[in-house]
Structure 1
Amino acid sequence: MGKTKNTRFKRPQFTPAGLSVGAVKDAVEEEAEAEESPAVDLLEKLQSPCADIREYACASISRVVQQSQNIPGFLQRDAVRRLGPLLLDSSLAVRETATGALRNLSACGGPNVCEDMVRQDVLTPLTALLKECSLGFQVNSSPVKKEEKHTVDDVANEAVNLLWNLCESSSAAVSVFNRAGLLDALLPCLERHPHNIQLALSAAHCLHTVTEENPELTGTVSEAVLAALENVLLSTQSSMEHALLRILAAGSVWNLKGCFSSTRQADALMAVVTTLAHCLSLDAGAMLPELWQAQATRLSNSTTEPASACKDKQPAGGAMEEEEEMEEGDVEVKMNGGKRNGKKAKIDKDISDFMPRNRLELREAIALLTAQQTSLEIIVNMCCSDDPSDDEWEEMSSSDESEMFADCPDGNNSMLSPLCLSAELHTTLLNHSIPQQVLKKADFPSRVALEICNKDPAWRCLIKKMQRVQCRALTCLHNILSVMDPECLGGAEGLQVVAQHLSSLVFGSEDVMKDEEFLEAVTSAIRSLLQILASKNIPQCMSPQQLMSMCEAATQCDLVSVRVNALAILGITGSTLAKEKGSVDTLQLIGNALLNVASKDSNLVVCGEALDALFDVFADGEEAERAAQNISLFSALKALQPVFKAKIRKEGRGKYGPDQLCVLDNIRINLRRFIGYLDTLQKK
């Protein structure tokens, strides 16, 4: 239905993370766990004159709030205001655990809790803490010593992660970030990367978040910030954690590209794309088994831990000393504040950032996959136009676009052009073989890597990460197809290769059709591809029967975007078939399927897409006319017309936005016109 969407990504909100609890005694823990309502006692202990007791209380709160059902009890007792002053406690240990308790509260509580924390002014002590930490780095610039129990770096890491989570969830927090000049406080944390990669990564994640779509910040970025980011991009450490750091820096440079002088922009763009291309060139399918084998060898030579051990884990970026079995679970995190490209997005559930404290190889594996996922998301944004997307069906329908621009005096239909990339970016992406790299990442995860991850519980969290890399690659492919000239992608032959690749993904396994995230990504890519093939009259390898089978499964999906994609695919397929002889039977099947959705789907957006697809399929041609008569399309649409009109009037204003209502109203008008067209055919 008109232009295809250009999905824009923001990083998902980071997951719950634990904190240092070095002062907690086993006996006291058992006593605390026996309490039915821990909030009252723990909050009272925050006021103790004894630093050890305050630390114990903060550490216990950080653990307890990881169970989301415990959060309301703490919030009702003003936990945020009680913990806030402890961010500036005289004890480093209390500062670290208090900041960590707030970090877990924000992460496990979700966006609403984050907004509430900002309203309760948690950012005032947090800002002061971060600035003190920055001064502490200047006083002591030496590497962190492993034997030091609590350091300024540890406190800063918790503080940066809390800030990151608040800014990811709250626009008010971002405004405070801008006004308080916290970019200058983040910079020293980023520059610690030669000594403390975990702190630098936390700062890079936070920076990547706050620089996205933040024009207020862009105007205040100093030369020191740009120089620090360039320094990270030019770093040469070979670990995967440093590779992830470079990718996050590349994302921030892309977000801040307007801050670079015109003479430096070309170099910055080249550095960013070079960094992305190098990351995507890494073969995770080969590297994960190598890392796992290296881990097995190291642990077999260790006298302190058996190779089969899978406990003693900690959350990423934290220093939790409890030993407990952490498995991938469900906690709600957001993409773009719960939205994608300004529209409602699917909630992403994953707490796979929990990692063993001593498993360096697993940390490397997670960093590799996170870096590749982030690389793909950056490329998605690079290949994303600023035009409205149809995530929530906002642009004009195909039937209305032609009318809307028919009266343009200069005939300029630039809004309909998919080629929205600058020539420089377009050339740079092609020179680094980005489309080919993306297509490779769209493959299913390596079978050997999957077997290893299934074998070791500690590595099982990587399965979801590998699948997510594939989904991001498919979304990236969708955007690339939408904005690049087909000739730059290899012309007809290259597009055929893409079609065969997508066909093998969709029809290679029945299980993939049950995964909503995969369905959304792959149907978007197929939709874009089919539109290009149809516009260029290029045959493709997916048969109408295969596409109908896929669309039948997709129309049962709960995600509106998947159902809309499926209907658009049917419309493109049908309009192409209408030009071919002997296609009446298939057109009838497509027509009946679209009519069924248009009359029965509970979502008006989906109903409208089904009607728009019907207009495309049966708009012209002898085969289409015969098929329309055979399925009694005229009478079916005439009966549907008043129902659709009544639904728009009754449900529209309560459930749908102004742009959606505009599209729905255009569909209503086109439905009336199309019924008139069918009536004319019947009277011939």
Structure 2
Amino acid sequence: MGKIRKRKVNKGDNIESTSNDEELPVDSKENAIQTMIDQIQTANVEEKYCGLQTFAMLIESSGSLEQMIDRGIVKIVAPLLFDPASSIRNAAAGSLRNLSAVSLDMCDLLMEHDIMTPLICYFHEYTESWSPDVNSKTKDEDTDTMIQCTNLLLNLCESSGLAVKYVGNSRLLDIFTRYLDISTFGKEIVIAILQCLFVIVEDNLLAKEKVRSSSERQLTELLLLESSDPTTLFIKTLAGGVIITIGGNNIDALPIDVMNQIFAVLAKTLSVDHRVACNQLSSSVPLGDVAGKVEALKGKEALQLQNQINSVAHILESQKCAIEIIANICSCEGDAVGSTEGPDSSDSDEETADDVSSNGEGSLLYEDVIPAVILEALISIDILNKVWTRTQLPAENVLMILNEYEDTQLVNKKIHSLQVRALLCMNNLLLGLPTDYLGGINGIYRFWVEAGKLAFKQNSKNFDLLEAATAAMRAALNKITNINRAKPASESNLFSDLALSDIEIMLTGIKECQVPAIRANLFRMIGILALLLINNLNETTSEVIRCITEFILEQALKENEVWVLAEAIDTLVDMYAEDETDQLAAKVQLVDKLAVLAPILKNKTRQQKNLPKDYKALVKTANSNLPRFIKYKKQRVSML
């Protein structure tokens, strides 16, 4: 939910692809899939259940999964969500939920196969008046089905605006209200409902109004729960997030006691040491023998370990939720920031950040528009340190143990997901918090260095981490540039000794990275570095600027994504906007090379029309500015 995020990968049980059945002959696979389909379509409950179990297993194989999708498995399994047999509903819900957790593309595919119709039917038919019956033989099964279906809906709504629209046109928001009663439905169902509401109400005015009118009292009561165990803390954090969102993210407009309670919950949630919790869990995990075989725990020991796993998972999830809330608070502080900085959208803030730092004199800093009461609250709970601590992983041996034991592999993924979300939040904190609180330019520079270590030294193949870290590094440089603009005499010699070898890893990243957003971040970063060097022109810095310019020009010619090309061109225009760069512009033949890029940009703009709104704005700006800049710089260079 942090506004700098792109599309978010789900928090649920992501499935690792395995190759267990990849060695099977193609005809054997096809026979197995056909047998499974025949079983699922039979009237016999036991055979149907057996077929669903096979389906759940085959989801873990990418080869089999593709074949099943081609055979229309979604439309075969989905109607079983409202099968008369409780066991069949449960098996169908669990397998479809796992399928939705494979990837965002899989969620899109599920939408194409009309998953929402049977899913909505399930909620309308089985949950409108259902309550757990202690005397029912299927109580636990029905409860799990409810949770699985709610998590399936959550995954779909995070991936698709159409899924959110389905929800708005159904009775689901009226149904969900009754499930916020912990005493009746238990904590796990309440968590599932709150997670789903957290997503559904984010950009949906109708949903916000429905939830506000029907559930505001219940949400406030959840916020005031006295217990602070990880599960309850998770519920309180989610409730706070929903309250803020249904209020239009205008947290300072909430009653003062509610606002203070939310900040108290956020502080408590982020005060739990997630690394210690993970260390303790790794000490409880059974280790493998010499052959790598792990003997599974049984009885009481197994139950204790599962409870500990659930507890740590809730700690990680609640902290990720808290960080998303903080990111939202810092990116769109109600109408005040929204009206000053631009539209409230998931991808726009990063561009808005650049606008703030590059629009020239008179631009407002984020810290100038976030209400003082919110800044004071954030600083009072030591938010910078709390969020930055979430970017730090447990020890390598702890991660290894958690990843090797099957039941804790999901915890390992949640740890890395929390790290990524914390880096994305740091992006917003850097822009929103006062410079003095950040430690001045030197403090921001230290963060830039540390984020660079995470981006380029920890795991360069983790693209989510790379994107988040480079976005945060970019925000740090934007902040430094903004400070230098506001106070030209400030301590701005941090990069005066920067040599080409110091940015070599970023240049390599642009060449090799397959993720457009990371390339765009790196383009902008080396451009900002060049801008900072322009304030300290000498033989060394001029050579670095020249090399950066030629590199961007060379890579721009190879760039396939029009919005990344626009970012590269916009970076060059910013670099050479000042008149003291005329000599350098002439040396690198900037005008002639930009004249070559201009028609390429126009052509790609015509070819790639289906872009998100913010990318379209970036491309439009580049197309508008480039001809004017070429004309202006050509005149300047000709006078040398």
Following superposition of structure 1 onto structure 2, how do residues 572-591 of structure 1 map, counting pairs within 5 Å? 572-582=528-538, 583-591=541-549
Correspondence for 1:97: 91
- Matched with 2:509 is 554
2:111 alignment partner in structure 1: 114
- Equivalence for 2:601: 648
- The separation in 2 between residues aligned to 1:679 and 1:16, in whole angstroms, is 59
Contact 2:123 2:172 in 1 (8 A): no
Counterpart of 1:486 in 2: which secondary structure? coil
CA distance in 1, matches of 2:49, 2:73: 21
Q: How does 1:201-220 map to 2 (within 5 A)?
A: 201-220=191-210
* 1:663-674 pair list within 5 angstroms: 663-674=621-632
Q: Distance in 2 between matches of 1:156 and 1:577?
A: 58
TM-aligned CA distance change 1:198 to 1:74, over 3 Å = farther
User: What is aligned with 1:72?
Assistant: 69
- Equivalence for 1:500: 446
User: How far apart in 2 are the matches of 1:60 and 1:390?
Assistant: 38
CA 1:168 to 1:576, structure 2 compared with 1: closer, same or farther past 3 Å? closer
* Higher mean C-alpha deviation, range 430-439 or range 98-107: 98-107
Q: Which has the higher contact order (CA 8 A, sep 6+)?
A: 1
The answer to whether the 8 A contact 2:530-2:575 is kept is yes
The percentage of counterpart residues that share the same residue type is: 19
1:474 maps to which residue? 423
Distance in 1 between residues matched to 2:357 and 2:274, nearest whole Å: 45
Mapped to 2, the partners of 1:653 and 1:413 lie a distance apart of 32
Alpha-carbon distance, 1:234 to partner: 2.2
Compared CA separation, residues 609 and 64, structure 1 to 2 (3 A): closer
CA distance, structure 2, for counterparts of residue 573 and residue 101 of structure 1: 49
Aligned 8 A contact 1:42 1:61 in 2: no
Find the aligned partners of 2:509 and 2:297 in 1 and give their Cα distance: 40
Contact 2:100 2:110 in 1 (8 A): yes
Report the counterpart of residue 309 of structure 1 in structure 2. 295
In the TM superposition, what is the alpha-carbon distance from 1:189 to its structure 2 partner? 3.1
**Number of residue equivalences:** 589
| Structure 1 residues not aligned, in runs of 5+ | 19-30, 300-305, 313-354, 407-411
- Shift of the alpha carbon at 1:476? 0.9
Which runs of 5 or more structure 2 residues have no equivalent in the other structure?
A: 16-27, 333-337, 485-490
Aligned residue number for residue 531 of structure 1: 478
Q: In structure 2, what is the Cα distance between the partners aligned to 1:185 and 1:460? A: 34
Residues 1:539 and 1:547: Cα distance change in structure 2 (over 3 Å): farther
Task: Rate the CA distance shift 1:6–1:239 in 2: closer, same or farther, 3 A.
Answer: closer
Which of residues 136, 144, 154 in structure 2 aligns to 1:154? 144
Q: 1:600-639 maps to which residues of 2 (within 5 A)?
A: 600-620=558-578, 624-629=581-586, 632-634=587-589, 636-639=590-593
User: How far has the Cα of 1:9 moved from its partner?
Assistant: 6.4
* Aligned partner (choices 509, 520, 523) of residue 567 of structure 1: 523
TM-score (norm 2): 0.79
Q: 1:360 to 1:518 in 2, by over 3 A?
A: same
CA RMSD of aligned residues (A): 4.1
Contact preservation (8 Å) 1:519, 1:562: yes
Q: Distance in 2 between matches of 1:399 and 1:273?
A: 27
Q: Is the 8 A contact 1:444 1:470 kept in 2?
A: yes
After TM superposition, give the deviation of residue 37 of structure 1 in Å. 0.9
Residue aligned with 1:117, SS? coil
The structural deviation recorded for 1:7 is 0.8
CA deviations 1:120-148 (Å, max 9, x no partner) are 55422432211132xx34xx4x6x99x96
Counterparts of 1:95 and 1:359, CA distance in 2: 25
Structure 2 residue identity aligned to 1:588: R
Q: How many angstroms does 1:455 deviate by? A: 6.1
C-alpha contact (below 8 Å) 2:330/2:428 kept by paired residues = yes
* TM-score (norm. length: structure 1): 0.74
Is 1:433–2:379 an aligned residue pair?
no
Does the CA-based 8 Å contact 1:500-1:541 persist in structure 2? Answer: no
Which residues of 2 match residues 408-487 of structure 1 at below 5 A?
A: 419-447=368-396, 449-450=398-399, 452-453=401-402, 456=405, 458-487=407-436
Higher share in helix = 2
Residue 181 of structure 1 and its aligned partner are, at CA, apart by 2.9
Q: After superposition, where does 1:163-182 map in structure 2 within 5 Å? A: 163-182=153-172
Q: C-alpha offsets along residues 499-537 of structure 1, whole Å, 9 cap, x if unaligned?
A: 224313424863444432222222222222222223323
Q: 1:203 to 1:381 in 2, by over 3 A?
A: same
Structure-2 change in CA distance of 1:265 and 1:114 (3 Å): farther
Cα displacement (A) at 1:79: 1.3
Q: How far, CA to CA, are the matches of 1:292 and 1:401 in structure 2?
A: 47
Tell me, in whole angstroms, the C-alpha distance in 1 between the residues paired with 2:559 and 2:142.
Answer: 57
